[in-house]
Chain A
Amino acid sequence: MTNEEETPMQVVVYEGEGAAVLPSSTRYDVLTRLLDRGYAVSRAAGNGQGAVEPRAGETERLLVLGDFPDGAPDLEDSSGEVEIDTLTITDLGGEEVLELVEARREGRPMNQPGAWKPWFPVIDYDRCTNCMQCLSFCLFDVYGVDAEQKIQVQNNDNCKTNCPACSRVCPEVAIMFPKYSGGPINGDKVDPKDLEREKMKVDISSLLGGDIYSSLRNRSEEAKSRFSKERSPDKALTERKKCLIKLQGDGLIPAEVLENLPSPEEIQRRADEAAAKAKAALDAQAH
């Protein structure tokens, strides 16, 4: 990810007054290559609707691409806040244009599709009841509360890619992962059936005991069968197992996450810490 303060360079494909209309295939090629490389691109077309207007707060640097038969115009932002640069792309293909744009970026940081998958929980506050189950469940400090003790996603970088497990512990189906394959986790509408299915009445705060996790981490068949045959009179333990097996069986805890878990002691420490944070938030709400 780039620094939060940085606004990546914005590119405009300009075909208004003073520029020729690009061949359709070139325009499409330029657009796809720039977008797939991580740039934001606008298309400013002809017929009186051309617009190269840097909008307030949108960017610090605008690069205007076009086929300018009479030479690229000198452009200036009236507010003086945005640096505007032009690039003539007459007869160039998408790949060449991308190379030139990359050169104009002059090494400024840039997001790179493929290098990081934006994977983090997104809360639907129309559904959320602020119960803090997600905060108690997550071992990676993704959740926190704001000044009003309202649940928030605070450290989305900490979230484990492809692990949507916390969405399954939310009793209200309020947690989405937009890049997940299936609904309602991907943002699809929530069915009353989903509410029943997603509800897992488990003691979340004691869910993540080290014994269970280390068993799951060792994914050998032997360990799995020992695990499944294990009997315990302790109800909480049985519940914990049921929940974790369900999450794992549903493919909701990816192998990489299980394989890279910290030590059982560290897991216990984090689980205690998360539970304490949730309890403090719930206590503060009650007062």
Chain B
Amino acid sequence: MPNEPSDNHPRTLYCRCAYAQTVPQGVKDDVLRRLSDSGRNFEAVSDLCEMSARRDPRLKEIAGCGGQVNIVACYPRAVQWLFHAAESPLPEEGVEVLNMRERSAEDIASQLNLESA
């Protein structure tokens, strides 16, 4: 079984916003379906807010990974300071936050260059 993350695409983190209906259900379902069908590696978390409140160590790992990261969640300002609140500030370069509260699933999928596998 391969053990090296050898994906050429930037790392993708999807937030399900499961602890409250903050992100429109249709958009988050559609984005997840497109990610799921893309044949791409990705990571998904249940709720970044909840992880920040708990200072989940995975946030530190994501913030410090050094490569390009796409975070599919909500407003970039909220995501930036949620990581900071968990003592895992995101680097100034290399992180793109895609906002499911304002953008369509199609738009997000096209920015992520997702195609069906």
Contact = CB atoms under 8 A, between A and B. Distances in A.
Most buried by A among B7, B45, B58, B78: B78
Contact of B41 (A44, A56, A111, A176): A44
A39 B44 CA distance: 9
Interface string B29-41: 1001101110111
A40 B36 contact: no
A282 interface: no
Most buried by A among B8, B52, B53, B79: B53
Given A40-B45, A123-B85, A31 B32 contact: yes
Contact of A31 (B20, B44, B58, B75): B44
B39 to A, nearest CB: 5
A215 B10 CA distance: 56
A214 interface: no
B41 A45 contact: yes
B100 interface: no
A7 B57 contact: yes
A178 interface: yes
A36 B49 contact: no
A43 B2 contact: no
A114 interface: yes
A183 B1 CA distance: 46
Interface residues on A, range: 35 or more
B81 A176 contact: yes
A78 to B, nearest CB: 8
B46 A111 contact: yes
B61 interface: yes
Contact of B46 (A28, A52, A113, A117): A113
A124 interface: yes
A101 B111 CA distance: 33
A27 B58 contact: no
A116 B81 contact: no
B49 A28 contact: no
A137 to B, nearest CB: 19
A52 B41 CA distance: 10
Nearest to A26: B36
B42 A42 contact: yes
A56 B1 CA distance: 19
Contacts of A1: 50, 53-54
A50 B84 CA distance: 30
A254 B7 CA distance: 47
Interface stretch (A186-194, A199-207, A229-237, A272-280): A186-194
A75 B78 CA distance: 38
B20 A179 contact: yes
Interface string A160-194: 00000000000000001011010100111100000
A148 interface: no
A53 B4 contact: yes
30 contacts: A7-B57, A16-B2, A27-B36, A28-B33, A31-B36, A32-B32, A35-B16, A36-B16, A38-B46, A38-B47, A42-B42, A43-B44, A45-B40, A45-B117, A50-B41, A53-B3, A53-B4, A55-B65, A59-B58, A111-B19, A118-B20, A118-B47, A118-B53, A122-B82, A124-B77, A124-B81, A153-B85, A179-B20, A186-B22, A186-B74
Interface of A: 1-2, 4, 7, 10, 14, 16-18, 24, 27-28, 31-32, 35-53, 55-59, 73, 75, 78, 111, 113-114, 116-120, 122-125, 153, 156-157, 176, 178-179, 181, 183, 186-189
